[in-house]
């Protein structure tokens, strides 16, 4: 289950072109993948870590995933939310997943430099700190390889273009593929 915000919900993209849709297609082409693989996109544009914290229990009980890819925090950072609240909310989501025997893949995001070096560094530190503390797999940066190139973003400067969705998937896949077991029937 992908549990994220507009980056995973496919904001501004034609239907079925976002990285989560591409993940569904990639899993179908993997020789070791079971035909029973399901990818659930429980992402909501505009979602914050608090919103995710409030709805994770319901999402887990509804979909019963084996793996949750958490892609949240960017909206909190863009709104200048406190680092402590972002960390606490993400940690609560992780702990809820763990109580439900669900593996977690945490994805890291970065903020534009205009938020100030102190805030952006503290924000960036949340993800590896939580990954280390809870022994989680971590995607170091979803926009690795293009995040500093404005031409690869939609007019809002926040959401990647359709051409970059495969690159986002590649960044996630590098870590996710190690979490998959050949032939396993898996809800993701």
Our answer to whether residue 63 is catalytic in this structure is no
Contact residues for 92 (Cβ-Cβ < 8 A; gap 6+): 53, 56
**Dist. CA 169–CA 173, nearest whole Å:** 6
**Dist. CA 147–CA 89, nearest whole Å:** 25
Radius of gyration of the chain, Cα coordinates, nearest whole angstrom: 16
Q: Which of 15, 134, 159, 170 is catalytic?
A: 159
**Dist. CA 178–CA 180, nearest whole Å:** 6
**Using an 8 Å Cβ cutoff, are 187 and 66 in contact?**
yes
Residue whose C-alpha is closest to residue 186's, from 64, 41, 93: 64
**Using an 8 Å Cβ cutoff, are 70 and 93 in contact?**
yes
Q: Which of 5, 15, 156, 170 is catalytic?
A: 156
Please count the CA atoms within 13 angstroms of the CA of 143 that sit on its side-chain side. 21
Q: Which of 6, 8, 21, 108 is catalytic?
A: 6
**Dist. CA 180–CA 188, nearest whole Å:** 10
Catalytic positions are 6, 156, 159
């Amino acid at each position: 289950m992908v549990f994220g915000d507009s980056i995973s919900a496919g904001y501004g993209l034609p239907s079925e072109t976002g990285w989560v849709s591409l993940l569904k297609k990639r899993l179908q082409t993997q020789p070791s993948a079971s035909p029973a693989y399901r990818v659930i996109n429980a992402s909501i544009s505009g979602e914050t870590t608090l919103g995710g914290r409030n709805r994770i229990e319901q999402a887990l009980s509804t979909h019963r995933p084996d793996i949750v890819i958490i892609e949240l925090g960017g909206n909190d950072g863009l709104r200048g939310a406190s680092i402590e609240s972002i960390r606490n909310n993400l940690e609560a989501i992780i702990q809820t997943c763990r109580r439900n025997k669900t593996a977690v893949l945490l994805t890291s995001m970065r903020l534009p430099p205009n938020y100030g070096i102190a805030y952006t560094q503290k924000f960036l530190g949340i993800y590896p700190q939580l990954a280390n503390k809870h022994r989680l797999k971590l995607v170091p940066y979803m926009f690795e390889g293009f995040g500093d190139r404005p031409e690869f973003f939609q007019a809002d400067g926040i959401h990647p273009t359709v051409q970059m969705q495969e690159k986002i998937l590649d960044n996630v896949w590098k870590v996710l593929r190690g979490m998959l077991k050949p032939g396993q029937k898996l809800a993701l």
